[in-house]
Copies of this chain bind each other. A is one copy, B any other.
C-alpha cells in the first residue's frame, strides 16, 4: 500500500489517517468528501496530505492502491456503485460501514470479478457519540475489534494482507465472520443498546418535560444510560434501513423481557432476571 484514498474524513476516516501516520505509514494519504470544511480540518490535523471534493474524486481514485469508504451505509453503497466501473483489478476497496449484508452482496456483484477491483467489507467497532474530524484520534482503534466479512472462497490479495497488517498496528483486534452473522451480532451488541438509549432519552424528555433539570437527580447511572441518546439520526437511519429485520427481532425480544420484569416486580421471578444479568456482567469482567 503506497497511496490510500480516504473517502469521508469524519471521525473514523480521519482517525484512520492519523493512525496510519502514528504507526509509520510513509505513503500518500488523500482525502475526499462532500464538505471542504471537514477535509480542511482533517488536513490541518495531519490525517490526510491532500484532498479533493467528492464530485472531483474520479481521477484520484484511479491512482490509489487502496480506497477506504467511510460514512453512513447508504453513502458507502452509493460510492460502491460509482467506483465499480472506473476501478480496475489490483486495487483494493474496503469500508467501515456499520452493517455488512447489503455491502457484501453488492461487493460480490460489482467487485471481486475478473478485471474488477477487490472489495473487503470491514467494520471497526469504535466511535464516539459525536462525529466529525475534530474528534479524530490516532488511538481510536486501540483494543477495539475490527471485523471483516470477506467473500467466501476468495484468496486474499497482497494489498488485503497489507491493509490488515496496518489495522493490527492500530492496536485493533481483527476477526473475520460471515456478513449475515455480523449483522445479527451487531444488532444485539450495538444497535439494540443504541435504540434503547434513544427510547429512554426520548421518553424522559416527554416525562420530565417542563423540568428537565430533574434529570440531574439520576446521577451517573442515568447519564450513562442516556449518553447514546445524543447519537445522530443521520448515521442510525442507514443502520435501521439496512439491518431492519435483525434489529426488529432484538427490539421485540427486549420488549417482551421488560414486560416480563414489569409483571414480576413482586415475584421471585425478578430475582432470576437479576441473577441472569449479574452473570452477563461477570463474563464481561
Give A residues with C-beta under 8 Å from B: 125-127, 144-145, 147, 185-186, 188-190, 192-208, 212-219, 221-233, 236-237, 240-241, 244, 247-248, 250-255, 257-259, 261-262, 265-266, 270-271, 273-281, 283-284
Smallest beta-carbon distance A251→chain B, Å: 4
Q: Is the CB of A203 within 8 A of B283?
A: no
Closest to A235 in B: B274
Q: Is the CB of A277 within 8 A of B237?
A: no
**Interface centre among A126, A221, A253, by most B CB within 10 Å?**
A221
Smallest beta-carbon distance A135→chain B, Å: 14
Q: Is the CB of B233 within 8 A of A198?
A: no
A277 contacts which of B202, B207, B254 (Cβ < 8 Å)? Answer: B202
A240 contacts which of B237, B265, B276 (Cβ < 8 Å)? Answer: B265
User: In the bound complex, what is the Cα–Cα distance between A237 and B231 (angstroms)?
Assistant: 33
Q: Is the CB of B208 within 8 A of A188?
A: yes
> What are the 5 tightest A-B residue pairs by CB atom distance, in nearest-first order?
A189-B218, A201-B277, A212-B283, A233-B274, A202-B276
Q: Is the CB of A280 within 8 A of B201?
A: yes
> Which residues on the B side are within 8 Å of A226 (C-beta)?
193, 277, 280-281, 284
28 A-B pairs with CB atoms under 8 Å apart are: A127-B219, A188-B208, A190-B218, A197-B277, A198-B277, A199-B257, A199-B273, A200-B254, A201-B277, A201-B281, A202-B257, A202-B277, A203-B250, A205-B276, A205-B277, A215-B280, A223-B284, A227-B281, A229-B278, A230-B277, A230-B281, A231-B274, A233-B274, A236-B274, A241-B265, A248-B265, A251-B262, A254-B258
How often does this chain occur in the complex, in copies? Answer: 2
User: In the bound complex, what is the Cα–Cα distance between A207 and B231 (angstroms)?
Assistant: 25
Known contacts A207-B253, A240-B265, A244-B266, A277 near B147 by CB under 8 Å: no
> Which residues on the B side are within 8 Å of A193 (C-beta)?
200, 218, 221-222, 225-226
Closest to A262 in B: B251
4 additional contacts (CB under 8 A) given A190-B217, A240-B265? A190-B218, A199-B261, A213-B283, A215-B280
**Interface centre among A147, A250, A255, A265, by most B CB within 10 Å?**
A265
User: In the bound complex, what is the Cα–Cα distance between A212 and B201 (angstroms)?
Assistant: 27
User: In the bound complex, what is the Cα–Cα distance between A270 and B199 (angstroms)?
Assistant: 10
**Interface centre among A206, A208, A219, by most B CB within 10 Å?**
A219
A225 contacts which of B144, B225, B265 (Cβ < 8 Å)? Answer: B225
Q: Is the CB of B273 within 8 A of A262?
A: no
User: In the bound complex, what is the Cα–Cα distance between A226 and B278 (angstroms)?
Assistant: 10
> Which residues on the B side are within 8 Å of A206 (C-beta)?
276
User: In the bound complex, what is the Cα–Cα distance between A281 and B201 (angstroms)?
Assistant: 7
Q: Is the CB of A240 within 8 A of B199?
A: no
